Amino acid sequence: MELSRELLTAETIDPSTGEPARTTIEVRHDPLTGHSSRILPERGLMPASDFDLEAFARESQPNCPFCPGRVDRLTPKLASSIHPDGRITRGEAVLFANLHAYSSHSSVSVYSSRLHYLPLDQVTGRILADNLATQVAFARAVVAADPQSRWASINANHMLPSGSSLFHPHMQGIVDSQPTTMQRLLAEVPAQRYAAYLDTERRLGERYLGNTGRFEWIVSFAPIAPAELRAFAAGISSPAELDDDLIAELAHGLALALAAYAEMGFQSFNCAIYGAPPAGEGYPLNLRLACRSNLRAFYRSDSTFLERLHWEGAVDVAPEAVARRIGDRFRQ
Ligand SMILES: [Zn+2]
């Protein structure tokens, strides 16, 4: 597979010297969906976090509906057809219905009611695995109770810049009869194209991070968002099909990635694990994980008219630089 890229040159006149100045922009096309992305020269668009998250945590904690003593009282229960207890728990993770539904079945799952403050370098595989396990149980319960709802995704808005309205870290599940745009586009990609993309990245090596068992991790060639990683697991198409071993493996990979983000100075991220209907032929369960701008007063959003309205990524963090920063974490 040829990874498509084209170099554009912008010429301007430098105001201080009056001399021509040139900037090179690389336009890349995603090998799966064809969407394009612009790799810009490093411009410092994603400064490292210098925000006192711990102080903000203390400030937001007294009114947090997900904290101990309030989570049972203030969060909606699941319909009894989905779960007789109204909540799904695993370890310290608790899943409940999303107060603000996005689909026929929308859930929120906190890593722990106790973990109001959870910086990315403290997100362990265990914490992630328990939370993912509640989401997997939710997806299974919905698919069993409402067979029309076959499109499941597990997602995260982590910290306010990512779209999270609450500080307390959590994941969100959507199980619906309707795929999202990206689920639909990914499900339309032929199985051979996934295989060819991964073969190409394995061969080139510069964005290939490693294989944790069934999941293969790469840095996106044409990212929608900064420091975007992708992972693929052949042989399963829905989160509802993840067993405990695969949940632990996926959680381990996510923990490695989040630790790398923390080291790069990032504290906010989005994640989407894109499920297609269970037992789909050839569709690999796959995910995107990407950084968002750090929390600070008057911060610059990393999502501009390009991402929101043109569906075009524009990042000044080169994918190959991200892969170098992550290094051999996934190869151990
Ligand atoms: Zn809280």
pLDDT at 129: 98
Ligand 1: centre distance to CA 103 (Å): 24
Segment 31-54 shows an average pLDDT of 95
How far, in Å, CA of 39 to CA of 27, rounded? 6
Ligand 1: centre distance to CA 92 (Å): 14
The total of other beta-carbon atoms located within 10 Å of residue 122's CB is 13
Cβ 51 vs Cβ 59: under 8 Å: no
pLDDT at 279: 84
pLDDT at 60: 95
pLDDT at 32: 98
Q: How does the average pLDDT of the chain come out, rounded?
A: 96
Ligand 1: centre distance to CA 117 (Å): 7
Structure tokens at 34: 């064809």
Segment 229-240 shows an average pLDDT of 97
Ligand 1: centre distance to CA 151 (Å): 29
pLDDT at 203: 98
Ligand 1: centre distance to CA 170 (Å): 10
Contacts of 220 (CB under 8 A, 6+ apart): 30, 37, 207, 228, 229, 230, 288, 319
Ligand 1: centre distance to CA 72 (Å): 12
303 has a pLDDT exceeding 80: yes
Ligand 1: centre distance to CA 95 (Å): 14
The total of other beta-carbon atoms located within 10 Å of residue 188's CB is 13
332 has a pLDDT exceeding 90: no
Residue owning tokens 């190959």: 320
Cβ 154 vs Cβ 173: under 8 Å: yes
How far, in Å, CA of 174 to CA of 163, rounded? 16
Residue-wise pLDDT tens digits, 171-214: 999 999 999 999 999 999 999 999 999 999 999 999 999 999 99
pLDDT at 280: 82
Ligand 1: centre distance to CA 88 (Å): 18
Ligand 1: centre distance to CA 116 (Å): 4
The total of other beta-carbon atoms located within 10 Å of residue 27's CB is 16
Ligand 1: centre distance to CA 220 (Å): 33
Ligand 1: centre distance to CA 168 (Å): 4
Ligand 1: centre distance to CA 69 (Å): 10
Please name the helix (run of DSSP H) or strand (run of DSSP E) that holds residue 270, with its range, or none. strand 268-274
Cβ 6 vs Cβ 27: under 8 Å: yes
Beta strands in 2-159 (DSSP E): 5-13, 20-29, 36-39, 88-90, 93-97, 105-110, 151-158
Model-level pTM? 0.96
Segment 146-170 shows an average pLDDT of 96
pLDDT at 177: 98
Of all residues in the chain, what percent are helix, strand and coil, respectively (each to 5)?
A: 30, 25, 45
Ligand 1: centre distance to CA 323 (Å): 33
Segment 81-92 shows an average pLDDT of 97
Residue-wise pLDDT tens digits, 114-146: 999 999 999 999 999 999 999 999 999 999 999
Residue 245, amino acid = D
